Amino acid sequence: MKFDLKNLKLFPSVKQLILLVENHIGSNEKEAHKAASEFTHGFATPEVFKGAKNIRLQGALKQYNSVFDIPPGLYDTYADFGGLPGGLSNTSAIIQLRIEQGVGRRKQIWLTEGYEGRLWYYTFHTNEQSYNPEGWTYLPRIQEVWAGTAKTAGDILTLNQHMTHFKTIRVWYELDDGISRICQEFESNQSFNLREIDVFNGSAGANLFEIRVTRNSNTQLVITQNKAIGLDGKETTSNLRIRKIEGVA
């Protein structure tokens, strides 16, 4: 007995079975199942799996002209496309990207410079009247590297890490009131002079102060002088003292 496929009307069923087999088996061993997308659960590709595990995709992204064209994801790549902050473009520089996308036109980009560790942030909002600042924002990394009281010549300030990790240091100091702290910023890994004037010393006139701080090594500073002089030219007791130092990367 012969079956007549046309009369049995099996073609639609056979086509559906073929479609299911093709989507399930895929075209090669790396695509054993139909890949997931925003419209279907499917099966995850290696890229989707890495993204779900917060693993950065490594390699060049030369197919994109601008960082703003790159789709959402985590990347470990080269700074060889346009739109990067602060003249960063360098075909040999490694950067890390975290690109997130929300509803409408919302999109956020976090960029880390691989060598120096500087952080940058860019946000797109739903319209040009957004309250967000325009362009790339540099996010300084600030860490406390020393805390205490140092005021006497010979006092040593031992820092908790190498000063070449930072571009500048913030030196927090106070006068004898012990309440208000003042901050000055200096180039890191260098000697510096800290100067202040005190007009609230309870007497007529004012006093001028200077602390000289010398760099001994990448992790050590020493106070070499702390003097005060009044406007009358007479030397007096210095009430100036260093209380905290922060490194700024």
Locate the domains of the chain by residue range. Answer: 44-139, 142-248
DSSP state of 5: H
Q: Which two tokens stand for residue 144?
A: 């406390």
For residue 184, with 0-12 CB atoms within 10 Å meaning exposed, 13-18 middle and 19 or more buried, which class applies?
Answer: middle
pTM over 0.75: no
Pull the structure tokens for residue 113: 């410079």
Whether the Cβ atoms of residue 160 and residue 218 lie closer than 8 Å to each other: no
Q: What is the pLDDT along the chain (249 residues), one digit of tens a residue?
A: 566 666 667 777 777 777 766 665 555 545 556 666 766 666 777 777 777 777 888 888 889 999 999 999 999 999 988 899 977 877 778 999 999 988 777 889 999 998 778 899 998 875 666 677 778 999 999 999 999 999 999 999 999 999 988 999 999 999 865 556 889 999 998 999 999 887 665 555 678 899 999 999 999 999 999 999 988 888 888 888 999 999 998
Domain 142-248 has CATH 2.60.320.30: yes
CB contact set of 50 (below 8 Å; sequence gap of 6+): 56, 57, 74
Q: Which is nearest to 166 in space by CA: 247, 220, 221?
A: 247
> CA angle, 88 as apex, 87 and 91 as ends, to 5°?
120
Structure tokens, 178: 């012990």
